[in-house]
Amino acid sequence: MKVKEILEILNVPAEELLTKLDNVGIAADLETEIAQDIIKKLSKVYKVDIKASKKKPAPKKEEPTQVAEK
């Protein structure tokens, strides 16, 4: 999950979250992917359940069915 997605869920200023990450040795920007274990820790700190939104997979292309001619 990217920092910007976490920010949307937590509704905190970007500077605040980036500072917290920096304090634990994670140099991040808005596009940085954050590991799941760090997300769990942030969830506890902010007392907010942070879950990744499950993206729906792209629909599979089905091959046309051929009908046997008589």
- pTM beyond 0.75, yes or no: no
End-to-end CA distance of the chain: 55
pLDDT at 4: 96
Q: Tell me what percent of the residues of the chain surpass a pLDDT of 90.
A: 71
pLDDT at 69: 66
Backbone dihedral angles phi then psi of residue 45, each to the nearest 5 degrees: -60, -45
Using a 10 angstrom Cβ sphere, with 0-12 exposed, 13-18 middle and 19 or more buried, the burial of residue 17 is buried
CA angle (58 as vertex; 3, 56 as ends), nearest 5: 50
Tell me which DSSP letter residue 33 carries. Answer: B
25-46: per-residue pLDDT in tens?
A: 999 999 999 999 999 999 999 9
